[in-house]
Chains A and B, each alone.
Chain A
Amino acid sequence: MVTDGTRVTKNEHIPWRIIEEEAILIDLEEGEVVRLNPVGAEIWNAIDGVRTIEEIVDHICRTFDVSQWKANRDVHRFITSLLRHELVQERSGV
Chain B
Amino acid sequence: MRVDFRSSSASPVLSCPTPAREEPLDGLVCARPIENVVTMEDHDGAYHAWERSGFQERILLHIDSHMDWDWLQEQDPLDLLLAQTLTELDAMLKEQGRWTLSRRDRLEPVHIGNYIHPALQEGIIREFYWVFPDVAIGTTGEPSGILRMLQKMMSVNPAGLKNLRVRHKRIELDIQGKRVTACSLSDLPPLPEPVLLDIDTDFLTAERTEYMGTGRAGHDRWRQLPWIWPEELLARLQAKGVRADFVTIAYSVEGGFTPLIYKYLGEELAVRLTHQTIPESYRRLWACKRMGAWYRHYHLLDEAIAEFEAAAALVPCDASSHFNLAYLYDEQGAHERAAACYQQAVRLDPTYGTAYNNFGHNFQALSLLDRAQAEYRRILRWDPQHAEARLGLAETLAKREAWEEAQIQYHAILEGRPDHPDANRELGRVYVERGLWDKAILQLKRAISLDPLDGDTYGWLGDAYYAQGRWNEAMEAYQTSVRYGHRSVALYLRLGGLYLGKRALYKAWKQYRKGGRLAGRIMLVFLLTAARAVRQRFSRELHDGHGWNQGHQERAYSLADH
B377 within 8 A of A: no
Contacts of B436 in A (CB 8 A): none
Judge whether B83 and A19 touch: CB under 8 Å. yes
B-contacting residues, A16-49, CB 8 Å: 16-17, 19-20, 22, 24, 26-33
Find the B residue at minimum CB distance from A84: B506
Judge whether B77 and A28 touch: CB under 8 Å. yes
With beta carbons under 8 angstroms apart, the residue of B81, B83, B101, B482 that contacts A32 is B101
- Given known A-B contacts A29-B479, A33-B93, A85-B506, A24 and B101 have beta carbons under 8 A apart: no
Judge whether B81 and A20 touch: CB under 8 Å. no
- Bound CA–CA A19/B100 (angstroms): 21
With beta carbons under 8 angstroms apart, the residue of B81, B482, B510 that contacts A17 is B81
* Distance in Å: Cβ of A50 to nearest Cβ of chain B: 25
Interface size class of A (residues with CB under 8 A): 10 to 19
Contacts of B78 in A (CB 8 A): 15, 26
Contacts of A20 in B (CB 8 A): 85-86
Find the B residue at minimum CB distance from A22: B86
Contacts of A86 in B (CB 8 A): 507
Give per-residue flags for B476-492: 1 if the beta carbon is below 8 A from chain A beta carbons, else 0: 00010011000000000
Judge whether A26 and B85 touch: CB under 8 Å. no
Contacts of A16 in B (CB 8 A): 81
Contacts of B483 in A (CB 8 A): 28-29
Contacts of A29 in B (CB 8 A): 102, 479, 482-483
Give per-residue flags for B248-279: 1 if the beta carbon is below 8 A from chain A beta carbons, else 0: 00000000000000000000000000000000
Judge whether B506 and A28 touch: CB under 8 Å. no
Give per-residue flags for B82-123: 1 if the beta carbon is below 8 A from chain A beta carbons, else 0: 011110010001000000111100000000000000000000
Find the A residue at minimum CB distance from B102: A31
Contacts of B102 in A (CB 8 A): 28-31
- Given known A-B contacts A24-B80, A26-B81, A29-B479, A19 and B86 have beta carbons under 8 A apart: yes
* Distance in Å: Cβ of B334 to nearest Cβ of chain A: 55
Contacts of B89 in A (CB 8 A): 19, 24
* Distance in Å: Cβ of A39 to nearest Cβ of chain B: 16
Find the A residue at minimum CB distance from B507: A86
Contacts of B93 in A (CB 8 A): 33
Judge whether B86 and A31 touch: CB under 8 Å. no
Contacts of A24 in B (CB 8 A): 80-81, 83, 89
Contacts of A30 in B (CB 8 A): 102, 510
Contacts of A85 in B (CB 8 A): 506
- Bound CA–CA A17/B93 (angstroms): 15
Judge whether B81 and A28 touch: CB under 8 Å. no
* Distance in Å: Cβ of A79 to nearest Cβ of chain B: 14
- Bound CA–CA A26/B76 (angstroms): 11
- Bound CA–CA A75/B336 (angstroms): 79
Contacts of A84 in B (CB 8 A): 506-507
Judge whether A31 and B507 touch: CB under 8 Å. no
- Bound CA–CA A56/B84 (angstroms): 28
Contacts of A33 in B (CB 8 A): 80, 93, 101
Contacts of B81 in A (CB 8 A): 15-17, 19, 24, 26
Contacts of B510 in A (CB 8 A): 30
Judge whether A26 and B86 touch: CB under 8 Å. no
- Bound CA–CA A11/B418 (angstroms): 40
Contacts of A31 in B (CB 8 A): 100-102
Judge whether B84 and A19 touch: CB under 8 Å. yes
- Bound CA–CA A16/B506 (angstroms): 22
* Distance in Å: Cβ of B495 to nearest Cβ of chain A: 11
* Distance in Å: Cβ of B488 to nearest Cβ of chain A: 16
* Distance in Å: Cβ of A81 to nearest Cβ of chain B: 9
* Distance in Å: Cβ of B31 to nearest Cβ of chain A: 53
- Bound CA–CA A46/B247 (angstroms): 59
- Bound CA–CA A22/B84 (angstroms): 12
Contacts of B506 in A (CB 8 A): 84-85
Contacts of B479 in A (CB 8 A): 29
Find the A residue at minimum CB distance from B83: A19
With beta carbons under 8 angstroms apart, the residue of B84, B101, B482, B507 that contacts A26 is B101
- Bound CA–CA A26/B100 (angstroms): 11
Contacts of A27 in B (CB 8 A): 101
> Quick one: which of B83, B101, B103, B479 has the most chain A CB within 10 A?
B101
- Bound CA–CA A17/B507 (angstroms): 25
- Bound CA–CA A22/B510 (angstroms): 25
- Bound CA–CA A19/B88 (angstroms): 10
- Bound CA–CA A24/B77 (angstroms): 12
Judge whether A28 and B83 touch: CB under 8 Å. no
- Bound CA–CA A30/B511 (angstroms): 10
Judge whether B77 and A26 touch: CB under 8 Å. yes
- Bound CA–CA A22/B77 (angstroms): 18
- Bound CA–CA A58/B367 (angstroms): 65
6 pairs of A and B residues whose beta carbons are closest in the complex: A31-B102, A31-B101, A17-B81, A84-B506, A20-B86, A28-B103
Question: Could you write out 7 A-B pairs with CB less than 8 Å apart?
Answer: A17-B81, A19-B83, A19-B89, A26-B77, A28-B103, A29-B479, A29-B483
| A residues at B contact (CB < 8 Å) | 15-17, 19-20, 22, 24, 26-33, 84-86
Given contacts A28-B77, A32-B101, 13 further A-B contacts (CB under 8 A): A15-B81, A24-B80, A26-B78, A26-B81, A28-B101, A28-B102, A28-B483, A29-B102, A29-B482, A31-B100, A31-B102, A33-B93, A84-B506
